[in-house]
Amino acid sequence: MLSSGCIAFLATVVEVPTAAPGLEDIPVVREFPDVFPPELTTLPPEREIEFVIDVVLGTAPISKVPYRMAPAELRELKAQLQDLMDRGFVRPSVSPWGAPVLFVKKKDGSLRLCVDYRELNKVTIKNKYPLPRIDDLFDQLQGSYVFSKIDLQSGYHQLRVRAEDVPKTAFRTRYGHYEFTVMPFGLTNAPVAFMDLTNRVFKPFLDRFVVVFIDDILIYSRSDTEHEEHLRMVLQLLREKKLYAKLKKCEFWLWEVA
């Protein structure tokens, strides 16, 4: 082409990733910024239910030696303990119970503080509250056209532990002995307790336009107009109940779900 006197252009196509929509860009959702705080900063309100830890009659308190940690883990432990204390989620403890703690690496490389409650779980009376079958939940969606998924933020930390059971949540660390005032991760009855809470909260909407599974909420509708109404009703209920969601884990106005 150049030899014949023509001008040639070289074009390069580059795929530029688009930023996720902000709260202000999402219809209906932008009316409820208070439902999507960056973090949970205070204790949850007293709710219809509390997290209960009933143990087998005659069980003596169980206390285990803390696990060893690397210096980097100890620095992270100190920071996370202070954060939990600042929020009121844990407090210093004199409980005869005490579980060890460890870190688990998350997908993004950060460290999740975990309490090893295996010994407590062995002596805990199991709550037989039923978890729904996933296929039964999806049966409810037939004929629906538009969906939204809401993930509650640190859902378990939005439910208080019954006062008399707080000492059983105690855990031992290099920096002291602490106990949870909110439901911690790793306890055997935690999923069903939160399932009980969400079923109670969303009872008026279940099998109409909402399905819930533990701390995940799915809204389904047959039209955009209907979905706008349903989404607003759910977000208003979350606001009234002081239940909070994590925006970056939510998806709105979907055409399909899997």
Of 70-74, 116-120, 212-216, 223-227, least confident by mean pLDDT is 212-216
Burial category of 68 from C-beta neighbours within 10 Å (exposed 0-12, middle 13-18, buried 19 and up)? exposed
Is pLDDT of 99 > 60?
A: yes
Residues in the chain: 258
Of 12-16, 125-129, 178-182, least confident by mean pLDDT is 12-16
Q: Which two tokens stand for residue 92?
A: 């210093």
Which DSSP letter does residue 64 get? Answer: -
Is pLDDT of 87 > 70?
A: yes
pLDDT for 109 equals 82
Classified as helix, coil or strand, 87 is helix
Q: What is the DSSP string of 147-177?
A: EEEEEBTTGGGGSBBPGGGGGGG-EEETTEE
List beta partners, residue 217. Answer: 150, 212
Mean pLDDT, the chain, rounded, equals 90
Local confidence band at 139 (pLDDT 50, 70, 90 cut-offs): confident
pLDDT, tens only, 16-31: 444 566 777 788 999 9
Q: Which residue has the tokens 């336009």?
A: 209
Q: How far apart are CA 236 and CA 83, in angstroms?
A: 29
* Helix, strand, coil percent content, the chain, rounded in steps of 5: 30, 20, 45
Q: How far apart are CA 63 and CA 99, in angstroms?
A: 6
Rounded percentage of the chain residues whose pLDDT exceeds 90:
76
Burial category of 55 from C-beta neighbours within 10 Å (exposed 0-12, middle 13-18, buried 19 and up)? middle
Local confidence band at 134 (pLDDT 50, 70, 90 cut-offs): confident
Domains and CATH numbers, the chain: 23-254 (3.10.10.10)
Question: Residue 216 belongs to what H/E stretch?
Answer: strand 216-221
Cα three-residue angle 200-235-217, rounded to 5 degrees: 55
Cα three-residue angle 63-67-71, rounded to 5 degrees: 145
